[in-house]
Amino acid sequence: MRGKHNKRNMLILGVFIGKDSGVALIENGFIRYAANEERFSRNKMHTGFPHLALRNMFAYTGVSPQNVQRIAFGGLSQPSEVETVGYAEGEIDPFRKKMGLVSRYLGGLMETDFAYRLFLAFQRIRLDKSGIEAQLRSYDLSVPIHFIDHHLAHAYSAYFSAGFSNCLLYTSDGGGDGCSGGVYVASPAKVERIAYTPRIHSAGNFWMYITILLGMDPWKHGGKVTGLAAYEPCREAYETLRKFYSFSSGRFHFINKNRLFLSPAIEHLREIMKPYNPAQIAYAAQKVLEENMVGAVRAAVKKLGQNQLALAGGTFGNVRLNQALFTLPEVQDGFVHPNMGDGGIALGAAYALWHQECTAEAADWVQNSSRMENAYLGPHFTEDEICAILEGEGFIYDYYENDLANVVAAELSADKVVAYFAGRMEYGPRALGHRSILYGAKEPAVNDWLNKRLKRSEYMPFAPVVTEETAHLYFNGLNQLGRAARFMTVTCDCTPLMKQRCPAAVHVDGTARPQILEKKENPGLYAILEAYGALTGDPVVVNTSFNMHEEPIVHSPVDALRAFTQGNLDVLVMERFVIRKSRNENRFN
C-alpha cells in the first residue's frame, strides 16, 4: 500500500528531548541533517529542548518551518528538561526512588507484563504533550506531531542505517518508555517487536551501577570502565559478580537475579565487591556483561533465524561487547548505529514515522539506499568564515591551495600533534576525521603524555584510523567487523604487524577500536593517511576526539581554536588553513 505523500517531497523533522537531546531532518529517507544540542551548548550530554540544534538545522539546510510536513517526537514519556545527570536524577525523581525501594521487597513484580503496562501508562499520563507542542509551535512548526516509542526509535535508527533488508534488531539501554530493550525482526514491510527487556533487568542500569561504584559519572564515563577492564583480570572478582546475573534464552534478555533497582542495587554491589580494586571490578563487570548479553542475543539470532544483526541503545557503546556479538558464528554481518545512545533517538523517530506514513516508499528505500555511508551530518564552515575568525582572533596561519596532505603528513611524521577540522561535523559520539586530533601511532608513550595534555584518563586507549585497502594488514576479523569499524563502534584484534609498528593505538589486551576509512567518504583525511604511509610505511595514525576533557567534540572554528590552545597542541588544520602559533593565545586560556 502506498503512503499518503509522494516520496519526492516527504520532509520529516525528528526531535528528542532528554539525555543528549538532538534533532534530525530526513527527506524521503535521506538524512539532510542530524546533530545534538551538546555541540552547540558546549554542555556534554545536554538535557532539555534542543533549541540551538534546531535553529542551526534551519539555518544550515535553508529549510523553513513551513517546508516540514511531519514532526516525530522520540518518546512516550515526559522528557527531562533540567540538567540532572547520573544517579542523582534517579534519586530526585520520586517515582524512581519509590521503584528502588519497592525492588528491595517486590522486585519480582517489576518484571511482569502488568508492571510494564502500568509504568508506561503512568509515564504517558505524565507526558505534557501540550508543553512540547508549545515549544515546537514557537518555531512556526504547525504540522502534526507524532510520538514514537523510545525503543522503537532506537530500532529504526539501527535498521535504516545498517543497509540490511532483513535482519534482527536488538536494543538495550538504561530504560525508556517502560522497558530497557527490545528484540525486533525487520523487513522492508514492517518492524515487529518480538520481545522486550523489563526495566528491572536492564543491562544499561547494571553498567550504570558499576560506573557509579567506581566513582565515575554514569552518563559520561561508561567507556572508561571498558578501557579499565583490560588492565587486571581477576577470576575471583568475576566469580563473585556472575552469581547475581544471567540471561533468558526464552525472552532474549539480560537478567538481574536479585531484582534490585537503583539504591538497593548499588548498595548490594558495593558490599559484594569490597575485596576488589577498581580494575578488578571493571574486568568482572565487562566479562559478566559480555557473557550474558552474548547469550541473550545469540538465543534470539538462532531462534528467529536471522544472521544479520543491527544494534542500538547505550549498552552498545561498549565496543568490546559489540566485537563479541559480531564474531558469533551465527552472525554473518553486524552494524551499530553510529549514534547508538539516546542521541540517536531523533533520527530513529523520524525514520519510524516515515515507515508508518509512506510504507511502500520506505520499503523501497531500505532495500536500495539505507546503508549509511558516513556520519558527516552536521554543519560545516566555509573558508571565508574560517578566515574571518582567524584574523579576528589574531591567529597566524598558512594557506595551502595544493599539497595540504603532504604538509600534514610531514608534521605527523615529525611527531607533531595535529588537530584536524574539516567538512561537516560528525553525528554521534565518535570523532571520525572531521573533528579529530591526529598523531603518529608508533610511540607507545603517547597514551601517557597526550592524555595528560588533554586531561583525560591515562588508561583510555587511543583509536587508530587506517585506509580501507590496508586495514587487513593491521586487524583481524574484518569480514564480520568491517562495517561497524567504519564508525569506530567495535574493537578488533590487532595483527602482529599492528602491535609491532603502531603500538600507540593498541590497547593492553591486544585490541584496537579502528576507523576504517574509504577514500570516497573522506578524501582529505584519506590523502593524509596515504602521504603519511609513504613517509613511514604505515598509513595508520591515532585518531582521538578534538575536545578537552569533559567537553563535547568541537563544533565551530572558535571551539577548535580554544581546544587547540588549551590543549597545547602543535598544529591546527582547518580546511586548508594551517595554524602553528597565535598572536593572542591568552584569549583562549
pLDDT reported for residue 91: 45
- The pLDDT value recorded for residue 84 is 45
Alpha carbon distance 56, 153 (integer Å): 23
Helix ranges (DSSP H) in 420-539: 446-453, 471-474, 478-485, 496-501, 523-536
- pLDDT given for residue 219 in this prediction: 82
pLDDT at residue 588, as a whole number: 55
Q: Can you give the pLDDT at residue 69?
A: 97
Residue ranges covered by each domain of the chain? 7-77+127-148+347-368, 155-337, 383-588
pLDDT of residue 456: 77
Looking at residue 5, what is its pLDDT?
41
Tell me which amino acid residue 47 is: T
SS (H, E, C) 287-305: HHHHHHHHHHHHHHHHHHC
At the second CATH level, the architecture of 7-77+127-148+347-368 is: 2-Layer Sandwich (3.30)
- Give me the helix-helix angle, 278-304 and 203-213, nearest 10°: 170
DSSP state of 221: -
For 182, the grid coordinates are 527490545
CATH topology of domain 155-337: Nucleotidyltransferase; domain 5 (3.30.420)
Q: Count CB-CB contacts under 10 A for residue 368.
A: 12
Domain 383-588 listed as CATH 3.40.50.2300? no
Which residues of the chain carry a pLDDT beneath 70? 1-8, 81-107, 457-458, 582-589
Give the whole-angstrom CA distance, residue 342 versus residue 220: 13
Q: Do 7-77+127-148+347-368 and 383-588 have matching folds? A: no
Q: What is the C-alpha separation between 474 and 538, in angstroms, rounded?
A: 10
**How many contiguous H segments (helices) and E segments (strands) does the chain have?**
23, 22
